[in-house]
Every structure is written in structure tokens, then in C-alpha cells.
Amino acid sequence: MVVGAILHVNGNSTVRFSCRSNLDRSRSQLPAMVKVKAPESYWASLHADVEAHLRQAIPMKEPLVVFEPMHHLVFAAPRTAVPALCVAACEVVGGRRDQAMAAASALMLMQAATHTHENLPLTDRPKPRPMTDQVYDPNIELLTGDGIVPFGFEILAKSGQAGQSNSGAILRVIIEISRAMGSQGVIDGQYCKVLGTQSDGEDSCHEESKKNAIEKNGGRLHACGAACGAMLGGGSEEEIERLRRYGFYVGMIQGMLQLVETKDKGLMEQVEDLRNLALKELQAFDSSKIEPISCFINV
């Protein structure tokens, strides 16, 4: 299936990028210098690299009672674009893939911890979700989530120790991820969700919490991933902020398409507007590098 997006370049000309297969057509419309790579395989390869990095980082070692659930819960959590976007942003600014690998792994770990805790059966959760993926006792899942988060920060801090020269960037990334995952980011989104649930079906509150979840779990978290990748790849401040905005639009699009049930014309127009804003941010980068990362808005 071909999923295309319109790139509004300089507000006038348009370029159509093919995102899934049909490379011949997209090749004929790109400058000769562009090394064409199937974007879906680019995204898949980023995912695969982050997972491989994490599998090495979480060995099945003693105490098995600790590491076996951690291993399972990290790789069973739903995938998001955040870790891959982090690595892609690093590559767009000219960085090497391995420079962003620790941050991408940390982001994947933190999201797995959040997902694990979201599914805990607490006594004040009146309508427990279907526990299809609940393999361990709640006590163990609580503790595993609690163990995963510091482990993510450890991986990040260790990556700054090896070379030393990037310790400033690593500290900055730790601050970014702490904020995006913490009380003013994902956790705030979850608070709103809890309060939305407690309001027992009041539509306005439900809508408000959904909007907040899209912004915090979607927009801001993807923005954080992209900004962190750009920082670690050595991007300029302008590049970092452009990629932060690009990530924000990516996350908003993905959140809207996943969480809004009625995919009416109005929603799709909003999505299209966000795509255009996202692509506008990419215009400042080397044209040979923007094709792979532009795939994230073609979901």
C-alpha cells in the first residue's frame, strides 16, 4: 500500500514522497543526489537497532525473579515511534546512529514502565482493563516498573561516561526525558486520565483528558525524543528546536489518529495541517537526509 504525503516546500511547490514501497515512483521525483531508502525499512531498522541494544542491556541474569519480568515487560509493551524518532533526528543532523542509542533505549524503557503501571489493578480502579497481557502478579509488575525507570537513567548516564566529551549533552537529555516522562509530562496526562475516569462519564472531562493525553503522551513525548536525538547528534540550537517541533507534530498526528474515534473530515483536515507544519520544519535540513525522517508523519 502506498501512503503518500504532500510536502509543501516554500509554500508553493509540492513534492510527493512515497512512504511504503513503490520506490521507483518516488525515485523519479527526487534529485539524483538523494540516496533512496525504503522509509518503512528505515523505521524498522531503527526499531530493530534499539531493541537489539536493549536486549544486550537487559541480560537474563540473576536475580532472575527481577530480570525475567523486566525483560518480558519491556519487550511486551506497545511500540511507539518515540525511540526511532530519537535516532532518526540524530541522523538528520549528521550524527551517528549509536550516539542516540542510549537515549532511545531509555525512552523505550520509560514508556514500558508507564504502560506496566497503567495496567496495575489498584483497589480504586473500578473498571479494570482486560488483563490479557498481565503475566505477573501486580506486586511484581509494580516493582518491575519501579526498577525499569532508574535503569533507563543508568543506561543514559553510562553512555556519557564512556566518552566524557558528550557529558553536557547527556545531562541535558536526562533533564529533557525527566520532564517529558514526569509530573509535567506523561504523568500529568495520566492524572487527567484518572480524573477523567473518576468523573464517571462526563463527556467534557473525558474529552479534556483525551486532549491532554494526546498532547503529553503524543506531542510532547515525541518532541522530547526528536530533540534529544538532535542534541546527541550534535545539532545546532536551531536544528534542535526545529526537530522538537517536528516531533511534536508527529506525536500529535499519531495521537489523534489513535485516540480520536471519529475520523471525520474535520479531524483529517487537522491532521493534514499538522503534516504540513511538520514538513515545513524539515525544509531547513539537507534534502538528502529528510526523506527517511519524513516517514514518521505518514502513518
What residues line the site for a copy of itself (CB under 8 A)?
63, 65-67, 70, 110, 113-114, 117, 120-125, 137-140, 142-151, 153-154, 156-158, 160-161, 164, 167-168, 170-172, 174-175, 177-179, 181-184, 187-188, 190-191, 194-195
From the list 295, 294, 299, the residue with the least C-alpha distance to 280 is: 294
Q: Distance between CA atoms of 252 and 246, rounded to whole angstroms?
A: 10
Of 35, 37, 3, nearest to 20 by C-alpha is: 3
Residue 155 C-beta: closest distance to a copy of itself, Å? 9
| Spatial distance between the Cα atoms of 273 and 116, rounded to a whole number of angstroms | 34
Residue 297: CB minimum distance to a copy of itself, A: 28
200: Cβ contacts below 8 Å, ≥ 6 apart: none
- What would you measure as the largest C-alpha separation in the chain, in angstroms? 61
Nearer to a copy of itself, 40 or 133 (CB): 133
Which CB atom, from 23 or from 66, has the smaller least distance to a copy of itself? 66
Amino acid identity, position 139: N
Structural contact between residues 14 and 7, judged by C-beta atoms closer than 8 angstroms: yes
Number of other CB atoms surrounding residue 176 within 10 Å = 21
Residue 148 CB, nearest approach to a copy of itself (Å): 8
The whole-angstrom separation of Cα 19 and Cα 1 is 9
When the beta carbons of 111 and 294 are compared against a copy of itself, the nearer one is 111
In whole angstroms, give the CA distance from residue 162 to residue 164: 6
**Cβ pair 79, 47 in contact under 8 A:** yes
Dist CA 172 CA 227 (whole Å)? 10
Least distance to a copy of itself, CB of residue 142, Å = 6
Residue placing its CB nearer to a copy of itself in the complex, 182 or 266? 182
CA-derived radius of gyration, the chain: 20
How far, in Å, CA of 207 to CA of 210, rounded? 5
Rounded least distance, CB 180 to a copy of itself, Å: 9
172 vs 289, which CB is nearer to a copy of itself?
172
Q: Report the C-alpha gap between 109 and 106 in whole angstroms.
A: 5
- Identify which of residues 46 and 58 has a Cβ nearer to a copy of itself in the complex: 58
Report in angstroms how near the CB of residue 165 gets to a copy of itself at its nearest: 11
Q: How far is the CB of 138 from a copy of itself (least distance, A)?
A: 4
Q: State the sign of the Cα–Cα–Cα–Cα dihedral 70, 75, 76, 81.
A: positive
Nearer CB in complex with a copy of itself: 4/147: 147
Q: How far is the CB of 92 from a copy of itself (least distance, A)?
A: 25
Shorter beta-carbon distance to a copy of itself: residue 94 or 128: 128
